[in-house]
Amino acid sequence: MNIMQVVTHIGAESAGPSYSVPSLCTALQNRGCDVTLYTLNDIPDKESNFKIKSFPRNNFPVKALGRSAKMYETMLRDAADFDLIHSHMLWMSPNYYSGLIANKLSKPYVCSPRGTLSKWALSHSIWKKKIVLALGQKKALDTVSCFHVTAQSEAEEVFDFGYRNIPATIIPNGIDIPLLSPKKSTPYKRLTFLSRIHPKKGIENLLEAWEQLEKQFSEWELAIVGPKENDYAKKIIKLVKDKGIKRVTFTGEIKGDDKIEFLRDSYLFVLPTYSENFGMVVAEALACELPVICSKGAPWSGLEEHNSGWWIEIGVEPLRESLEHAMGLDDFERVQMGQNGREWMKKDFSWDKIAENMIKTYEWILKHNEKPDCVQ
């Protein structure tokens, strides 16, 4: 099976999909698919088992749209050699190139919105989205054979956007299960936030909750891990300084093995996000045996079902209450919850399992055989 995969970016700055899309491509290739990924020119310097084609973007007239005439021309020329086109994310030019080409050549087309149809996402950059819809995104969406979503909540977002009559396959992102070294001793027990420092991540709620608890839990520290060069990050750093909030560390971005080690040496993970289609960092933390506090802005209800964390309402007070409870547990209870989370990741979130279900979806679209359980 020859699959054209398309995503605008796979550089670190594009967050979750920069990991999940190449990882999906790798897993599909390992299961016998012939995968080629088409993207703009920000390829990480590492080897892959699948082919990558990258293209320069046209900065005129609007850089933010990610337009690339060369990318469109090459995709149109190559598409005849593929059985199916699978595009990831929305609202930039490569995202609708895929649908327009699929429509032109009558190719099956799978679309993974990856959170771009959430209420939070749709309430931002409204005029840009209207422009992109008019340029081709609406026609591309109308062409979709099957949506791929990572959770039931994301399926509802697709349906609410007007596509209730198009099937959706619910397949979460996968996770690489790392080898873990023994936890190292640290001066404080570390509560870790790891993600982009961005308004939608709920960092201001976290800092307000932490400020209320810092005296009660003097043996704990809060580490905020993520790139700190953008204007919002600078605002947050200044806020902590101006308010005199104690034991808060901004580490900057941590990647690769250093990230795994940092998570391993933490005691608790928190993601108080307003909107997340999956929340890859939650899976990474669970795989490192960290209990997790996650807001209902991300689809992690299984935290409580698997006794590996807390799934809470968005806001300062629910966050303060859950932090107080979690930090008040003895170490043994948190360790047990962390072990539960790692076993859950091994069972349900391996990339091989994800690829298996994705291939079942592709085959159902192509061969019209029995609908797999993951398809609604």
Helix (H, G, I), strand (E, B) or coil at 373: coil
Same fold, 2-174+350-367 and 189-348: yes
Q: What is the pLDDT of residue 63?
A: 62
Q: What is the pLDDT of residue 52?
A: 93
Helix (H, G, I), strand (E, B) or coil at 193: strand
Q: What is the pLDDT of residue 102?
A: 96
Is 80 exceeded by the pLDDT of residue 204?
A: yes
Arithmetic mean of pLDDT, 108-127: 92
The candidate with the shortest Cα–Cα distance to 319, out of 330, 327, 308, is 327
Is 50 exceeded by the pLDDT of residue 366?
A: yes
Higher pLDDT, 350 or 359: 359
Q: What is the pLDDT of residue 13?
A: 47
Quote the CA–CA distance of 71 and 245 in Å, as a whole number.
48
315: left (phi over 0), alpha (psi -120 to 50) or beta: left
Q: What is the pLDDT of residue 14?
A: 43
Name the architecture of domain 189-348. 3-Layer(aba) Sandwich (3.40)
* pLDDT tens sequence across 128-177: 899 999 999 999 999 999 999 999 999 999 999 999 999 999 999 999 89
Q: What is the pLDDT of residue 12?
A: 56
Arithmetic mean of pLDDT, 68-82: 95
Contacts by 326-333, CB closer than 8 A, 24 or more apart: 326/268, 326/291, 326/293, 327/189, 327/191, 327/213, 327/217, 327/220, 327/268, 328/217, 331/267
| Helix, strand, coil percent values for the chain (each to nearest 5) | 45, 15, 35
Phi, psi of 181 (to 5 degrees): -90, 165
* pLDDT tens sequence across 6-59: 998 887 544 578 888 999 999 999 999 999 999 987 666 667 899 999 898 776
Q: What is the pLDDT of residue 66?
A: 78
Q: What is the pLDDT of residue 45?
A: 61
Confidence of residue 201 (pLDDT cuts 50, 70, 90): very high
Arithmetic mean of pLDDT, 274-301: 93
* pLDDT tens sequence across 320-343: 999 999 999 999 999 999 999 999
- Please identify, in words, the CATH class of the domain defined by 2-174+350-367: alpha beta
Arithmetic mean of pLDDT, 278-294: 95
- Give percent of the chain with pLDDT exceeding 90: 80
Structure tokens at 204: 């201001």
Confidence of residue 200 (pLDDT cuts 50, 70, 90): very high
Arithmetic mean of pLDDT, 231-251: 95
What is the residue extent of each domain of the chain? 2-174+350-367, 189-348
